[in-house]
Structure 1
Amino acid sequence: MENTVEVENYKIEKPESWAPNIDDNQLIEYIKESDFSNKQVEEGRDFCYFLDKVYYTNDNGNSEYACVAYTLNEPSNLESASVRDVVVEENETYIIHRISVLRDGVLIDKIADTKIKVLDSENQSEGGVLSSNKKVNITIKDLRLYDVLITEDSRVKVFTDRDFMRKEFLKYVYVTPSTYWAYGNYKFSFINDRKDPIAYKKAFFRDEEGNVLEPEINYLKQGERFVIEKENYINFFDTNREVAPFIDFATDSNWIDLANYIAPLYEEIYNKASLKEFAPKLVEKLDAITDKDEQLQFAIDYVQNHVYYIFNADEMNGHKPQEPSVTYENKQGDCKAKSVLLKVVLDYINIDSSVVLVNFNTDHYITHYLPSLLTFNHVILKINYKGETYFIDATSRDEFGLVENRGFIYFLHYLEVKPNQGLQVREPHKFTYYGINEKVDFSAQNNKGQLKLVTTYKGNRANYMRKYFKNTNKREIIDSWNNFLFYTLNYSNDRNGTDIRTIFKDAVIEIVSDDKKLNEFTIQYYSSIENPYFTDQQKNRFLMYFDRNLVKNNARDFMHTDIPFWHNFDNEKYEIHLTTDEKIDVQEKYTIQESTINNPYFDYTSRKKVTKNGASIFIDYKPLVNLEIPLKDFEDFRNAHHTVADSNFGIGIDIIEQGLLNMLKYSFKKRLK
């Protein structure tokens, strides 16, 4: 075997005493064909003869063990088995116990055919993501189709002083296996060897009819173990519509005790030094601002944009926040450091704030998990100002506006770093402004169209658009708008395949204004269009403008049974005017159709104004956001969006062609209505 780099990140030795002890004869005995295994192979799937997994924890570290034997009948699995990477954290060791294959009934040791390299697992340092993780690259020579591969290994994480929180608290989420694999024998064991009891909660397990069972919570004392063992096992759940069953293991605690544990750690840091002592120049700038709103904006802008964000993966869950004086001096820090610095700045200007713990990625699951500080992976700041509550991510960049106009952060659950705090749930939110406010004028004269859009973006939309216009080529931006309008004007149905640039020949787009306090970003698009009408197969002509962004297809198509729909849309307002020098059908059903939707989760109105040579629509959409739509309300919510999609997201006008036959056709059509 060729070992090319340092060996401290991996070892080759026997398993620990708490792990199973499986000899070669037992291995061969476990790998037996059966009616169950033959059926899986006949269906073209690889088969796992057995999988034995163990998670072991004590007060000094955590370890994971696995012994698995599976077929290499599929080329893709052969490829992934031949070369794989194992990422190990700081002070974690990957231990290889066995690498073998069963070939034609003979067990062959493949350790000698294994090449191991240890590499830095680092590819994001330029973006401020620091990690001392290592990547153990394992290459096994001469694996063959129809071999049975057996691997037995462990990962052992030894705690350091920096891991004081992991020493104190355990969190481990066991997720039931992939639905791809069928298992002859499957076993999972959790062994608690810590002095404190471990709670475990089973979630999203189902009965034989597929109904989710009530969560079940039990406890493991020191020396006790939890075991799942199954034969001829396939994990049946609908991966597209259901959550995989999982078990959350965590040190037995409650949210109030956890808040009382972490609050003093932060309180100690807040009081290390005063802002006047370590940041006199910043204090001078703050004191020079007399308007409180602007003072708050300056403080947020300073920490977000003048202090570089560094995410240290090894320290995120493992150490006290960096002192604000160090963060200010070095002009860099992780989310904890930047949030603490911002709080100290706000304390100086007498604005109430507190650090809060969040996890945007698993926000929905937090109430399904047991209470644990290790559930959270990010720190932000909660600001109470003028009777309103705002959440600010100190690690964000390219954010602008007074506090009420800044981008809105979507999440539901958080733990405030103060004594005696429980897990909090944010109230649903209604925006006081429109994320999009757009006016469209589309006129057709002498079979030539003039199209003008003036759009004002605010809040999150303004931040995104400002960044998009800054970082994107102008030609690419115009092409993006042209492509959107190609569908909005329905040209995709009568001139599909045409080069869009030949339709919108002289399209221009420009920034009209950029208000950094109101966080409003206004743009204007203009283009002239030859043949502006959509023409159907019967040669009928229409002037149309239907903005498909108003049709929330992710709401209409949502089908998940376990996770409620997350409602996070912006307020939107549109004013669309179509005019022509042709005669139009002023009684056409969809031209005059209006809508009023008062769903508990959004209000939507469309109002029309029709003249002999044109029509206008005024659309107002105001959702209640930052909430999960309860299952009992979802079908009504979905149907309300179907109503929007039923020609209520824009306007079209029908041209009455000149000539006797066309007038007769129009009169006949009118009588049929």
Structure 2
Amino acid sequence: MDKQIEIENYRIRKSEEWAGNIDDQDLVDRIKDSEFAKRQIDEGKDFCYFLDKKYYTSNTENSEYICMAYTLNEPANLERASVSDIVVEENEVYNIHRISVLRDGVLIDKIPDTKIKVLDSENQSSGGILSSNKKINITIKDLRLYDILIMEDSRVKVFTDRDFLRKEFSKHVWVSPDNYWAYGSYKFTFINDREQKIAYKKTFFRDENGKVLQPEIGYLSKGETFVFEKQNYINPVDANREIFPYIDFATDDSWKNLSNYIAPIYAEIFDKASLKDFAPNLIEKLDEIVDLDEKIQFAVEYVQNNVYYVFNADEMNGHKPQEPSVTYENKQGDCKAKSVLLKTILDYIGVDSSIILVNFHTDFYIKYYLPSLLTFNHAIVKINHKGEEYFVDATIRDEFGLLENRGLIYFMHYLEVKPDQELKERKPYKYPYFCIDEKVEFNTQNSTGNLVLTTTYKGNRANAMRRYFRNTNKREVIDSWNNFLFYSLNYSNDRNGTDVRNIFKEASIDIISDDKKLNEFKIQYKASVDNPYYVDPKNNRFLMYFDRNVVKASARDFMHEDLTFWHNFDSEKYEINLYTDQKIDTQEKYTVQESTIHNPYFDFTSRKKITKNGATVNIEFNPLVNLEIPKEDFEKFRTDHHTVADSNFGLGIDIIEPGLINMLKFSFKKKFK
């Protein structure tokens, strides 16, 4: 194609030399209806005749090239092809090399039928996420069902001075394609044009029997390429139970060397930082606080709540941390800036802390990845206090409590910004408190029940509930509790379809207390219920309260060949009291049933006290969290959760109906049960 069009964010031009050049006849020759292609098309699937992907990296740019031809046999696919969006980063350019269709054997250039708009990509700017990304909207007119669309394009990211990490280090993860598509030819090529050696690691590939192979590691020197190529290819991965095979490419290095690279960058910032020089007003407030624990709470909440979080997507891996004096003066900064300011304050009050690098989204994979600073996308603060390690995300808002009472951040892998560090794994955690501590009292007399729930939330739960009550309409909050109780009291099985507001009369919910140091948030729900008993089809009456939150369905239903189960449940305590003016069956199997479970990953107990007119159950669930359950331990872990679900997550009592005949029926039933 001879015509060259250049706009700031996109160009219409020929492909680069490293990507190669393919002429029109070569394209047509590659689009052949083989038996494999016919079989896929006959099954009603769209088919990709070929897909060539190339990734090129040098010390000055990263580029990706794609050339592909695929069918438009499905209306939904035709719609997606007709209008598409490409998002490019700052200093990244989208190059269009070819847009064509093969229609009835004739190759038609569709660039004259293509309309291109460049838009700002600022969807989340109001949430503190700043990005100079641009969205390139591409509309292709007159695409028709059964066309074969041919797209050839590339993206080029040229590094600026602030992209110092990208200049020095490379990282790219190739993930095997979606298994919806069938490919006549699939080819991926990685081209290393950097001065440094690139390592690659093939992970979660399988043999012909589906068994995961050991990771394969290789190396590419400058000028060398890696090629993954398949013919008549459908990715065999079981998407519901297996991880897609992937290849991690990264500049060959070690975690120790990487920590020694990044630590001096942060040390230079801290050497310039003196809180006395730029924050005398803040120091005055800190000095007024006598208790060290309260000083720490003040420092954390000051940075979290008074410094606005600005996430600049282009700069997260691209520049040095902002100096704390600038962050303090401007009252805004990204995660690095806020973390550095918090550590500067903690240094002043004599608390040991450090910056650590994490990636919550890919935490599971970090242990499989090659060492790279570009693996991480977030910075938080690690605090060592009274022999314990605490982790604080300075970008979170509306968190409260002394250090030991604050919310728990779940993650496992991190790199500490200090010299000579290796990748670390965070220790498992056991709550020193109950995240939920709830007392349920349901007293029934005659045909009316009085229901009172008193609940204390701590840690993450307290923070979440505090926000929920502040941001949610009171009527909506009450309806939420009503709906929960509709199922807990089993009314869903004898009065389904009834408006819950007509069941739970005079329902109210109030905040009883809110302790910002203990981070305890206490509420109370009250309601009266007409006809409080659940009645089965045989007109037997029961009082029932089963809290399905105690049952961990995710643990019982988990099925995956590769992923391990991430254990992050809250600690919970419940006292459920059900009392009536009727006589009850004090020997009923499930009424008296208790349980004790001592699993390596959680302890569970339910203890009961039965009287002639009611019963109480005390339930405690104490998990060991922030860890992956090893595969060899998981089935026992699952079985123990099935035990919890076997009527051990609440309480039910059977009413013995008054009258001689009913007593005889009850005695007969017990004798022959």
* TM-score category, normalised to shorter length: over 0.9
1:466 equivalenced with 2:494 (yes/no)? no
SS of equivalent residue, structure 1 residue 132: coil
Aligned to 1:370: 370
SS of equivalent residue, structure 2 residue 647: coil
Report the Cα offset of residue 6 of structure 1: 8.3
1:243 equivalenced with 2:266 (yes/no)? no
1:128 equivalenced with 2:128 (yes/no)? yes
In the aligned structure 1, how far is the partner of 2:168 from the partner of 2:273?
A: 28
AA at the equivalent of 2:197: P
Deviations along 1:63-94, whole A, 9 cap, x unmatched? 00000000000000100000001001111100
In the aligned structure 1, how far is the partner of 2:21 from the partner of 2:148?
A: 20
AA at the equivalent of 1:270: F
Aligned to 2:510: 510
Aligned to 1:547: 547
1:529 equivalenced with 2:565 (yes/no)? no
1:664 equivalenced with 2:664 (yes/no)? yes
In the aligned structure 1, how far is the partner of 2:257 from the partner of 2:664?
A: 81
SS of equivalent residue, structure 2 residue 608: strand
Report the Cα offset of residue 602 of structure 1: 0.3
Aligned to 2:167: 167
Report the Cα offset of residue 386 of structure 1: 0.8
AA at the equivalent of 2:650: G
Deviations along 1:461-504, whole A, 9 cap, x unmatched? 00000000000000000000000000000000000000111000
Report the Cα offset of residue 421 of structure 1: 0.5
In the aligned structure 2, how far is the partner of 1:301 from the partner of 1:426?
A: 24
SS of equivalent residue, structure 2 residue 505: coil
Aligned to 1:351: 351
What are the within-5 Å matches in structure 2 for residues 148-167 of structure 1?
148-167=148-167
AA at the equivalent of 2:370: L
AA at the equivalent of 1:267: A
What are the within-5 Å matches in structure 2 for residues 470-489 of structure 1?
470-489=470-489
Aligned to 1:328: 328
Aligned to 2:588: 588
Answer yes or no: is the 8 Å Cα contact 2:567–2:628 preserved in 1: yes
Answer yes or no: is the 8 Å Cα contact 2:353–2:384 preserved in 1: yes
Deviations along 1:218-263, whole A, 9 cap, x unmatched? 0001110000111100001111111100000000001000000000
What are the within-5 Å matches in structure 2 for residues 532-611 of structure 1?
532-611=532-611
SS of equivalent residue, structure 1 residue 326: helix
Answer yes or no: is the 8 Å Cα contact 1:380–1:393 preserved in 2: yes
Report the Cα offset of residue 668 of structure 1: 1.3
Answer yes or no: is the 8 Å Cα contact 2:273–2:344 preserved in 1: no
Answer yes or no: is the 8 Å Cα contact 1:604–1:621 preserved in 2: yes
Report the Cα offset of residue 561 of structure 1: 1.2
Aligned to 1:8: 8
In the aligned structure 2, how far is the partner of 1:128 from the partner of 1:603?
A: 41
In the aligned structure 1, how far is the partner of 2:377 from the partner of 2:6?
A: 31
In the aligned structure 2, how far is the partner of 1:552 from the partner of 1:273?
A: 48
Deviations along 1:170-225, whole A, 9 cap, x unmatched? 00000000001000011110010101000000000011111111111100011100
SS of equivalent residue, structure 1 residue 562: coil
In the aligned structure 2, how far is the partner of 1:74 from the partner of 1:95?
A: 27
AA at the equivalent of 1:229: E
In the aligned structure 1, how far is the partner of 2:266 from the partner of 2:96?
A: 41
Report the Cα offset of residue 670 of structure 1: 1.2
Report the Cα offset of residue 125 of structure 1: 1.2
Deviations along 1:623-673, whole A, 9 cap, x unmatched? 000000001110100000000000000000000011222112110121124
SS of equivalent residue, structure 1 residue 325: helix
Deviations along 1:126-174, whole A, 9 cap, x unmatched? 1110000011111000000000000000000100001000000000000
Unpaired runs of 5+ in structure 1?
none
Answer yes or no: is the 8 Å Cα contact 2:15–2:97 preserved in 1: yes
AA at the equivalent of 1:79: E
Report the Cα offset of residue 267 of structure 1: 0.5
AA at the equivalent of 1:323: E
Answer yes or no: is the 8 Å Cα contact 1:342–1:394 preserved in 2: yes
1:414 equivalenced with 2:414 (yes/no)? yes
SS of equivalent residue, structure 1 residue 18: helix
Aligned to 2:397: 397
Answer yes or no: is the 8 Å Cα contact 1:382–1:392 preserved in 2: yes
Answer yes or no: is the 8 Å Cα contact 2:13–2:96 preserved in 1: yes
Report the Cα offset of residue 20 of structure 1: 2.6
Aligned to 1:451: 451
Deviations along 1:268-304, whole A, 9 cap, x unmatched? 0012131011000000000111111111100001000
Report the Cα offset of residue 123 of structure 1: 1.3
CA distance 1:159–1:333, change in 2 (3 Å): same
AA at the equivalent of 1:293: D
TM-score, with normalisation over the residues of structure 2?
0.99
Aligned to 2:57: 57
In the aligned structure 2, how far is the partner of 1:18 from the partner of 1:271?
A: 45
What are the within-5 Å matches in structure 2 for residues 85-124 of structure 1?
85-124=85-124
AA at the equivalent of 1:257: N
Deviations along 1:299-353, whole A, 9 cap, x unmatched? 0010000000000111100000000000000000000000000000000000000
1:384 equivalenced with 2:384 (yes/no)? yes
In the aligned structure 2, how far is the partner of 1:233 from the partner of 1:335?
A: 43
Aligned to 1:613: 613
1:138 equivalenced with 2:146 (yes/no)? no
Aligned to 1:31: 31
Aligned to 2:186: 186
Answer yes or no: is the 8 Å Cα contact 1:241–1:559 preserved in 2: yes
In the aligned structure 1, how far is the partner of 2:125 from the partner of 2:425?
A: 34
Answer yes or no: is the 8 Å Cα contact 2:6–2:12 preserved in 1: no
In the aligned structure 2, how far is the partner of 1:31 from the partner of 1:269?
A: 57
Aligned to 1:202: 202
Answer yes or no: is the 8 Å Cα contact 2:356–2:414 preserved in 1: yes
Answer yes or no: is the 8 Å Cα contact 1:401–1:518 preserved in 2: yes
In the aligned structure 2, how far is the partner of 1:485 from the partner of 1:321?
A: 50
Deviations along 1:577-635, whole A, 9 cap, x unmatched? 10000010000000000000001100000000000000000001100000000011101
Answer yes or no: is the 8 Å Cα contact 1:6–1:118 preserved in 2: no
In the aligned structure 2, how far is the partner of 1:654 from the partner of 1:223?
A: 79
In the aligned structure 2, how far is the partner of 1:664 from the partner of 1:222?
A: 91
1:649 equivalenced with 2:633 (yes/no)? no
SS of equivalent residue, structure 1 residue 368: coil
Aligned to 1:431: 431
Answer yes or no: is the 8 Å Cα contact 2:351–2:384 preserved in 1: yes
Aligned to 2:626: 626
AA at the equivalent of 1:450: N
Report the Cα offset of residue 513 of structure 1: 0.1
AA at the equivalent of 1:325: S
Aligned length: 671
In the aligned structure 2, how far is the partner of 1:454 from the partner of 1:232?
A: 63
1:83 equivalenced with 2:83 (yes/no)? yes
Aligned to 1:270: 270
In the aligned structure 2, how far is the partner of 1:381 from the partner of 1:106?
A: 61
In the aligned structure 2, how far is the partner of 1:393 from the partner of 1:354?
A: 12
Aligned to 2:296: 296
Aligned to 2:73: 73
Aligned to 1:496: 496
SS of equivalent residue, structure 1 residue 450: strand
SS of equivalent residue, structure 1 residue 605: strand
User: Percent identity of the aligned residues?
Assistant: 73
Aligned to 2:225: 225
In the aligned structure 2, how far is the partner of 1:303 from the partner of 1:616?
A: 45
Aligned to 1:21: 21
Answer yes or no: is the 8 Å Cα contact 2:130–2:313 preserved in 1: yes
Question: Which runs of at least 4 in structure 1 moved beyond 3 Å after TM superposition?
Answer: none
In the aligned structure 2, how far is the partner of 1:568 from the partner of 1:42?
A: 46
In the aligned structure 2, how far is the partner of 1:51 from the partner of 1:295?
A: 59
